[in-house]
Amino acid sequence: MLVTATPELLNYVDAHGGSLFVRCQRQHLSRGVSFLRTTTNEPRSLAGYEVFVVEGRLVLTQLPVRSRPGELHLSMEGRRKRRPIASWDGCAFVV
């Protein structure tokens, strides 16, 4: 899996601890669709996370093994409050 990140995201990660965590979160009403969630806060347990190094920054992912993306793209989004987002082969959700 290729993990890419924008320079703006890399600066954000540097300012917030140096690591980014990406995982799938299933919504109750979405019927099998999981959305990608990103945070710089370390989860309680790192079990099941896969580690990638992107230009010297740690990116830890907890994604379904059955359908690996070809590319995980990390960038910043939001007009008023910028926040990190992840897209899986161009999509923000996983079916």
Report pLDDT digits (tens) over 29-81: 556 677 889 999 999 999 989 999 999 999 999 887 777 778 899 999 999 99
Q: What is the DSSP string of 6-26?
A: -HHHHHHHHHTTSEEEEEEEE
Q: What is the pTM of this model?
A: 0.86
Q: Which of 90, 80, 5 is nearest to 40 (CA)?
A: 5
CB distance 65 to 27 below 8 Å: no
